[in-house]
Protein backbone atom coordinates (compact mmCIF):
# COMPACT_ATOMS: atom_id res chain seq x y z
CA UNK A 1 0.00 0.00 0.00
CA UNK A 2 1.39 3.36 -0.98
CA UNK A 3 1.56 6.21 1.50
CA UNK A 4 -1.22 8.09 -0.33
CA UNK A 5 -3.52 4.98 -0.21
CA UNK A 6 -2.85 4.65 3.49
CA UNK A 7 -4.23 8.15 4.05
CA UNK A 8 -6.96 7.95 1.41
CA UNK A 9 -8.63 4.84 2.86
CA UNK A 10 -9.40 6.22 6.35
CA UNK A 11 -10.65 9.42 4.75
CA UNK A 12 -12.91 7.41 2.45
CA UNK A 13 -14.25 5.46 5.41
CA UNK A 14 -14.80 8.68 7.33
CA UNK A 15 -16.61 10.19 4.35
CA UNK A 16 -18.79 7.10 4.17
CA UNK A 17 -19.57 7.30 7.89
CA UNK A 18 -20.34 11.03 7.62
CA UNK A 19 -22.66 10.35 4.67
CA UNK A 20 -24.52 7.68 6.65
CA UNK A 21 -25.04 10.03 9.62
CA UNK A 22 -26.19 12.84 7.30
CA UNK A 23 -28.55 10.44 5.52
CA UNK A 24 -30.02 9.29 8.83
CA UNK A 25 -30.64 12.93 9.79
CA UNK A 26 -32.35 13.60 6.44
CA UNK A 27 -34.54 10.52 6.89
CA UNK A 28 -35.57 11.52 10.42
CA UNK A 29 -36.41 15.05 9.24
CA UNK A 30 -38.54 13.66 6.40
CA UNK A 31 -40.14 11.16 8.79
CA UNK A 32 -41.04 13.81 11.37
CA UNK A 33 -42.30 16.53 9.12
CA UNK A 34 -43.87 14.72 6.17
CA UNK A 35 -43.93 10.92 6.06
CA UNK A 36 -45.65 10.29 9.41
CA UNK A 37 -48.43 12.68 8.41
CA UNK A 38 -49.49 10.35 5.58
CA UNK A 39 -52.61 8.28 6.23
CA UNK A 40 -51.91 4.84 7.68
CA UNK A 41 -52.04 2.11 5.10
CA UNK A 42 -50.14 0.24 2.43
CA UNK A 43 -49.01 3.39 0.62
CA UNK A 44 -47.51 4.81 3.82
CA UNK A 45 -45.57 1.59 4.45
CA UNK A 46 -44.26 1.60 0.89
CA UNK A 47 -43.25 5.29 1.10
CA UNK A 48 -41.54 4.85 4.51
CA UNK A 49 -39.55 1.82 3.35
CA UNK A 50 -38.95 3.19 -0.14
CA UNK A 51 -37.47 6.42 1.21
CA UNK A 52 -35.18 4.44 3.51
CA UNK A 53 -34.01 2.24 0.63
CA UNK A 54 -33.37 5.26 -1.64
CA UNK A 55 -31.40 7.08 1.06
CA UNK A 56 -29.45 3.87 1.85
CA UNK A 57 -28.62 3.43 -1.83
CA UNK A 58 -27.40 7.03 -2.08
CA UNK A 59 -25.11 6.47 0.93
CA UNK A 60 -23.66 3.31 -0.64
CA UNK A 61 -23.07 5.15 -3.89
CA UNK A 62 -21.48 7.99 -2.02
CA UNK A 63 -19.22 5.59 -0.12
CA UNK A 64 -18.07 3.96 -3.31
CA UNK A 65 -17.48 7.35 -4.92
CA UNK A 66 -15.71 8.65 -1.82
CA UNK A 67 -13.30 5.71 -1.87
CA UNK A 68 -12.02 7.10 -5.19
CA UNK A 69 -12.20 10.81 -4.49
CA UNK A 70 -12.73 11.39 -0.77
CA UNK A 71 -11.80 15.00 -0.10
CA UNK A 72 -14.38 16.84 -2.26
CA UNK A 73 -17.05 14.39 -1.20
CA UNK A 74 -16.60 15.20 2.46
CA UNK A 75 -18.20 18.55 1.71
CA UNK A 76 -21.76 17.36 0.98
CA UNK A 77 -22.40 15.38 4.20
CA UNK A 78 -20.55 18.04 6.19
CA UNK A 79 -22.84 20.72 4.77
CA UNK A 80 -25.89 18.61 5.67
CA UNK A 81 -24.65 18.10 9.22
CA UNK A 82 -23.91 21.81 9.65
CA UNK A 83 -27.46 22.61 8.47
CA UNK A 84 -28.86 20.02 10.90
CA UNK A 85 -26.75 21.53 13.70
CA UNK A 86 -28.07 25.04 12.93
CA UNK A 87 -31.64 23.67 12.92
CA UNK A 88 -31.03 22.00 16.28
CA UNK A 89 -29.65 25.25 17.74
CA UNK A 90 -32.75 27.09 16.51
CA UNK A 91 -34.93 24.41 18.10
CA UNK A 92 -33.18 24.79 21.45
CA UNK A 93 -33.52 28.60 21.33
CA UNK A 94 -37.24 28.40 20.44
CA UNK A 95 -37.96 25.81 23.13
CA UNK A 96 -36.32 28.10 25.66
CA UNK A 97 -38.39 31.05 24.42
CA UNK A 98 -41.64 29.04 24.54
CA UNK A 99 -40.97 27.28 27.82
CA UNK A 100 -44.05 27.32 30.06
CA UNK A 101 -44.50 26.64 33.74
CA UNK A 102 -43.65 23.37 35.40
CA UNK A 103 -46.53 21.38 36.84
CA UNK A 104 -47.38 22.15 40.46
CA UNK A 105 -47.79 18.46 41.11
CA UNK A 106 -47.22 15.10 39.48
CA UNK A 107 -48.28 11.56 40.30
CA UNK A 108 -46.32 8.51 39.21
CA UNK A 109 -44.07 10.63 36.98
CA UNK A 110 -40.59 9.45 36.05
CA UNK A 111 -39.22 6.48 34.17
CA UNK A 112 -36.89 3.84 35.54
CA UNK A 113 -33.94 2.75 33.38
CA UNK A 114 -34.49 -0.90 34.24
CA UNK A 115 -38.12 -0.74 33.08
CA UNK A 116 -38.16 0.66 29.52
CA UNK A 117 -41.72 -0.43 28.61
CA UNK A 118 -44.03 2.25 29.96
CA UNK A 119 -47.16 1.62 27.88
CA UNK A 120 -49.51 1.37 30.89
CA UNK A 121 -47.52 3.45 33.37
CA UNK A 122 -49.89 6.43 33.59
CA UNK A 123 -48.62 9.72 35.01
CA UNK A 124 -50.83 12.63 36.06
CA UNK A 125 -49.56 16.20 35.78
CA UNK A 126 -51.27 19.03 37.62
CA UNK A 127 -50.87 22.59 36.32
CA UNK A 128 -52.18 25.86 37.68
CA UNK A 129 -52.75 28.65 35.17
CA UNK A 130 -53.30 32.19 36.50
CA UNK A 131 -55.22 34.20 33.90
CA UNK A 132 -55.54 38.00 34.25
CA UNK A 133 -58.86 38.22 32.37
CA UNK A 134 -60.50 35.45 34.43
CA UNK A 135 -62.56 36.72 37.36
CA UNK A 136 -64.38 33.48 38.11
CA UNK A 137 -63.67 30.72 40.60
CA UNK A 138 -61.04 28.03 40.11
CA UNK A 139 -61.98 26.21 36.91
CA UNK A 140 -60.67 22.67 36.72
CA UNK A 141 -60.01 21.07 33.35
CA UNK A 142 -59.11 17.43 32.83
CA UNK A 143 -57.30 16.96 29.54
CA UNK A 144 -57.25 13.46 28.05
CA UNK A 145 -55.99 12.59 24.59
CA UNK A 146 -55.11 9.78 22.22
CA UNK A 147 -57.00 6.89 23.81
CA UNK A 148 -56.30 4.91 20.62
CA UNK A 149 -58.78 2.12 21.30
CA UNK A 150 -57.51 -0.76 19.17
CA UNK A 151 -57.88 -3.89 21.26
CA UNK A 152 -54.21 -3.95 22.27
CA UNK A 153 -54.50 -2.35 25.70
CA UNK A 154 -56.59 -3.97 28.47
CA UNK A 155 -60.01 -2.57 29.37
CA UNK A 156 -58.86 -2.35 32.99
CA UNK A 157 -56.22 0.18 31.94
CA UNK A 158 -58.78 2.51 30.40
CA UNK A 159 -61.04 2.06 33.46
CA UNK A 160 -58.12 3.05 35.69
CA UNK A 161 -57.39 6.14 33.56
CA UNK A 162 -60.98 7.30 33.59
CA UNK A 163 -61.30 6.61 37.32
CA UNK A 164 -58.31 8.90 37.85
CA UNK A 165 -60.01 11.58 35.73
CA UNK A 166 -63.25 11.22 37.69
CA UNK A 167 -61.32 11.52 40.96
CA UNK A 168 -60.09 14.97 39.88
CA UNK A 169 -63.75 16.12 39.69
CA UNK A 170 -63.16 18.37 36.67
CA UNK A 171 -65.50 21.17 35.65
CA UNK A 172 -64.57 20.60 32.04
CA UNK A 173 -63.38 17.33 30.53
CA UNK A 174 -61.58 17.56 27.18
CA UNK A 175 -60.74 14.72 24.79
CA UNK A 176 -58.39 15.95 22.08
CA UNK A 177 -58.65 13.28 19.43
CA UNK A 178 -57.37 9.90 18.27
CA UNK A 179 -60.07 8.16 20.23
CA UNK A 180 -59.56 4.99 18.20
CA UNK A 181 -56.95 3.40 15.96
CA UNK A 182 -59.33 0.85 14.43
CA UNK A 183 -62.90 1.76 13.57
CA UNK A 184 -64.30 -1.57 14.83
CA UNK A 185 -63.32 -0.47 18.34
CA UNK A 186 -65.38 2.73 18.16
CA UNK A 187 -68.31 0.81 19.70
CA UNK A 188 -66.23 0.51 22.89
CA UNK A 189 -66.06 4.28 23.29
CA UNK A 190 -69.28 4.80 25.27
CA UNK A 191 -68.20 2.26 27.90
CA UNK A 192 -64.95 4.19 28.39
CA UNK A 193 -66.06 7.79 27.93
CA UNK A 194 -68.98 7.53 30.33
CA UNK A 195 -66.68 6.61 33.23
CA UNK A 196 -65.90 10.28 33.85
CA UNK A 197 -67.72 13.54 33.29
CA UNK A 198 -67.02 17.25 33.40
CA UNK A 199 -69.42 18.96 35.79
CA UNK A 200 -70.11 21.71 33.23
CA UNK A 201 -69.24 20.05 29.93
CA UNK A 202 -67.49 17.06 28.39
CA UNK A 203 -66.17 17.87 24.94
CA UNK A 204 -64.18 16.18 22.20
CA UNK A 205 -62.52 16.79 18.89
CA UNK A 206 -61.37 14.10 16.48
CA UNK A 207 -57.79 13.37 15.50
CA UNK A 208 -56.03 12.09 12.41
CA UNK A 209 -56.61 8.41 13.23
CA UNK A 210 -60.33 9.04 13.76
CA UNK A 211 -60.46 10.76 10.38
CA UNK A 212 -58.46 8.03 8.70
CA UNK A 213 -60.65 5.14 9.88
CA UNK A 214 -64.16 6.62 9.96
CA UNK A 215 -65.02 10.03 11.39
CA UNK A 216 -68.78 9.47 11.19
CA UNK A 217 -68.63 6.22 13.13
CA UNK A 218 -66.32 7.66 15.78
CA UNK A 219 -68.36 10.85 16.12
CA UNK A 220 -71.56 8.79 16.46
CA UNK A 221 -70.08 6.80 19.36
CA UNK A 222 -68.75 9.97 21.00
CA UNK A 223 -72.24 11.47 20.91
CA UNK A 224 -73.73 8.15 22.09
CA UNK A 225 -71.50 8.48 25.15
CA UNK A 226 -73.05 11.86 25.90
CA UNK A 227 -69.89 13.71 24.93
CA UNK A 228 -70.25 16.80 22.75
CA UNK A 229 -68.12 16.53 19.64
CA UNK A 230 -67.11 20.09 18.96
CA UNK A 231 -65.73 19.53 15.48
CA UNK A 232 -64.85 23.01 14.23
CA UNK A 233 -67.58 24.71 16.28
CA UNK A 234 -67.52 26.80 19.44
CA UNK A 235 -69.56 26.44 22.57
CA UNK A 236 -70.24 28.90 25.37
CA UNK A 237 -70.25 27.75 28.96
CA UNK A 238 -71.34 30.01 31.77
CA UNK A 239 -69.44 29.56 35.00
CA UNK A 240 -71.41 31.39 37.68
CA UNK A 241 -71.77 34.50 35.52
CA UNK A 242 -68.40 34.23 33.78
CA UNK A 243 -68.27 33.27 30.12
CA UNK A 244 -66.00 30.57 28.75
CA UNK A 245 -65.84 30.10 24.99
CA UNK A 246 -64.53 26.69 23.96
CA UNK A 247 -63.72 26.05 20.32
CA UNK A 248 -62.81 22.90 18.46
CA UNK A 249 -60.36 22.99 15.58
CA UNK A 250 -59.88 19.73 13.70
CA UNK A 251 -57.58 21.03 10.98
CA UNK A 252 -55.82 19.90 8.90
CA UNK A 253 -58.06 16.83 8.68
CA UNK A 254 -61.36 18.72 8.65
CA UNK A 255 -61.66 20.86 5.58
CA UNK A 256 -64.08 23.47 6.87
CA UNK A 257 -63.52 27.18 6.61
CA UNK A 258 -62.83 27.72 10.31
CA UNK A 259 -63.90 31.12 11.57
CA UNK A 260 -63.01 31.77 15.20
CA UNK A 261 -65.37 34.06 17.09
CA UNK A 262 -64.40 37.57 18.13
CA UNK A 263 -63.81 37.23 21.86
CA UNK A 264 -64.81 39.96 24.30
CA UNK A 265 -62.15 41.07 26.76
CA UNK A 266 -63.91 39.37 29.68
CA UNK A 267 -64.40 36.02 27.90
CA UNK A 268 -62.07 33.09 28.50
CA UNK A 269 -61.31 31.50 25.15
CA UNK A 270 -60.05 27.90 25.02
CA UNK A 271 -59.33 25.68 22.02
CA UNK A 272 -59.32 21.90 21.65
CA UNK A 273 -57.28 20.68 18.72
CA UNK A 274 -55.55 17.43 17.96
CA UNK A 275 -52.22 18.57 16.63
CA UNK A 276 -50.15 21.23 18.40
CA UNK A 277 -48.90 22.20 14.93
CA UNK A 278 -52.02 24.41 14.78
CA UNK A 279 -50.65 26.69 17.48
CA UNK A 280 -49.36 29.40 15.13
CA UNK A 281 -52.83 29.56 13.54
CA UNK A 282 -54.36 30.08 16.99
CA UNK A 283 -52.32 33.00 18.28
CA UNK A 284 -53.48 36.61 18.05
CA UNK A 285 -57.17 35.63 18.25
CA UNK A 286 -57.73 36.28 21.94
CA UNK A 287 -57.57 32.64 23.05
CA UNK A 288 -55.94 31.99 26.39
CA UNK A 289 -55.12 28.30 26.10
CA UNK A 290 -54.92 25.50 23.54
CA UNK A 291 -55.19 21.81 24.48
CA UNK A 292 -53.64 19.23 22.16
CA UNK A 293 -52.21 15.72 21.98
CA UNK A 294 -51.08 13.88 18.83
CA UNK A 295 -47.33 13.72 19.49
CA UNK A 296 -47.50 10.97 22.16
CA UNK A 297 -44.41 12.74 23.57
CA UNK A 298 -42.58 10.81 20.86
CA UNK A 299 -43.82 7.41 22.19
CA UNK A 300 -40.20 6.23 22.16
CA UNK A 301 -37.81 8.43 24.13
CA UNK A 302 -34.15 8.05 24.94
CA UNK A 303 -33.27 8.83 28.56
CA UNK A 304 -31.59 12.28 28.86
CA UNK A 305 -32.19 12.94 25.14
CA UNK A 306 -35.95 12.88 24.65
CA UNK A 307 -37.99 11.80 21.64
CA UNK A 308 -36.36 10.65 18.42
CA UNK A 309 -39.41 11.19 16.24
CA UNK A 310 -42.33 13.60 16.73
CA UNK A 311 -44.94 13.77 13.95
CA UNK A 312 -44.78 17.52 13.51
CA UNK A 313 -43.98 20.10 10.86
CA UNK A 314 -41.81 21.65 13.56
CA UNK A 315 -39.90 18.46 14.31
CA UNK A 316 -39.10 18.14 18.01
CA UNK A 317 -39.77 21.84 18.82
CA UNK A 318 -42.79 21.00 20.97
CA UNK A 319 -43.02 17.48 22.29
CA UNK A 320 -44.85 17.46 25.60
CA UNK A 321 -45.87 19.71 28.48
CA UNK A 322 -46.69 23.42 28.77
CA UNK A 323 -45.49 26.08 26.34
CA UNK A 324 -46.40 29.72 25.87
CA UNK A 325 -46.45 30.75 22.22
CA UNK A 326 -47.04 34.45 21.55
CA UNK A 327 -49.01 34.70 24.78
CA UNK A 328 -51.14 31.58 24.20
CA UNK A 329 -50.73 28.69 26.64
CA UNK A 330 -50.25 25.40 24.86
CA UNK A 331 -50.80 22.14 26.75
CA UNK A 332 -49.61 18.96 25.01
CA UNK A 333 -50.28 15.67 26.76
CA UNK A 334 -48.45 12.47 25.95
CA UNK A 335 -51.84 10.81 25.52
CA UNK A 336 -53.20 7.63 27.07
CA UNK A 337 -52.88 4.96 24.39
CA UNK A 338 -50.31 4.25 21.76
CA UNK A 339 -50.44 3.83 18.01
CA UNK A 340 -47.76 2.20 15.89
CA UNK A 341 -45.97 0.38 17.41
CA UNK A 342 -48.54 -0.19 20.21
CA UNK A 343 -45.89 0.24 22.91
CA UNK A 344 -44.26 3.14 24.72
CA UNK A 345 -40.57 3.05 25.57
CA UNK A 346 -39.27 5.38 28.31
CA UNK A 347 -42.33 7.47 27.51
CA UNK A 348 -45.19 7.45 29.99
CA UNK A 349 -48.80 7.97 28.98
CA UNK A 350 -50.36 10.83 30.90
CA UNK A 351 -53.33 13.05 31.60
CA UNK A 352 -53.24 16.72 32.57
CA UNK A 353 -55.28 18.45 35.23
CA UNK A 354 -55.22 22.21 34.55
CA UNK A 355 -56.72 24.63 37.08
CA UNK A 356 -57.46 28.06 35.67
CA UNK A 357 -57.43 30.66 38.42
CA UNK A 358 -57.81 34.44 38.54
CA UNK A 359 -54.39 36.12 38.41
CA UNK A 360 -53.65 38.20 41.50
CA UNK A 361 -53.04 41.92 41.14
FE1 LIG B 1 -52.37 9.65 18.45
Q: What is the pLDDT of residues 137-154, one digit of tens each?
A: 999 999 999 999 998 899
Candidate from 5-19, 111-125, 146-160, 188-202 with smallest mean pLDDT: 5-19
Compute the distance between CA of residue 284 and CA of residue 49 in angstroms, rounded to an integer. Answer: 40
- Percent helix, percent strand, percent coil in the chain, to nearest 5: 40, 25, 40
Q: 164 CA to middle of ligand 1, Å? A: 20
Query: Sheet containing 321-325: which strands, arranged edge to edge?
Result: 234-239, 242-249, 268-273, 289-292, 328-332, 321-325
Same domain, 115 and 29: no
| Number of structural domains the chain divides into | 2
Closest to 337 (Cα-Cα) out of 113, 162, 135, 198: 162
> Given this model, what pLDDT does residue 8 score?
56
Same domain, 211 and 190: yes
Domain region containing 131: 103-358
Cα dist from 324 to 95, 245, 321, 334, whole Å: 10, 19, 10, 17
Q: 63 CA to middle of ligand 1, Å? A: 38
Q: 277 CA to middle of ligand 1, Å? A: 13
Q: 2 CA to middle of ligand 1, Å? A: 58
Domain end among 78, 96, 114 = 96
Q: 142 CA to middle of ligand 1, Å? A: 18
Report the predicted TM-score, pTM, of the whole model to 2 decimal places: 0.89
Domain end among 65, 96, 127 = 96
One DSSP character per residue, 131-142 reads ETT--SS-EEEE
The one-character DSSP state at 118 is -
Q: 132 CA to middle of ligand 1, Å? A: 33
- List residues, by chain if needed, whose CB lies under 5 Å from ion ligand 1: 146, 178
Same domain, 35 and 156: no
Candidate from 84-93, 224-233, 274-283 with smallest mean pLDDT: 84-93
Same domain, 55 and 176: no
Q: 239 CA to middle of ligand 1, Å? A: 31
**Arithmetic mean of pLDDT, 81-106:** 93
Q: 12 CA to middle of ligand 1, Å? A: 43
Amino acid sequence: MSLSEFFVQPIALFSWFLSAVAALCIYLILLNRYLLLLSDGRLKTVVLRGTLVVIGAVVLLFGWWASHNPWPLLLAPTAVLIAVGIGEMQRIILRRRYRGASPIGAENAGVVLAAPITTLDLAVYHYELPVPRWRGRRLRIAHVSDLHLNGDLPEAYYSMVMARVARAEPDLLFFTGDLVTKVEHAVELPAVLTLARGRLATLAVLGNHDYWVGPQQVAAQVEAAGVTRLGDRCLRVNVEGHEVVICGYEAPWSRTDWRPPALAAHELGLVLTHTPDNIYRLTGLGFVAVFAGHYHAGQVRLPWFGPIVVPSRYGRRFDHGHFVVDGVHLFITAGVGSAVPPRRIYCQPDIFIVDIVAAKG
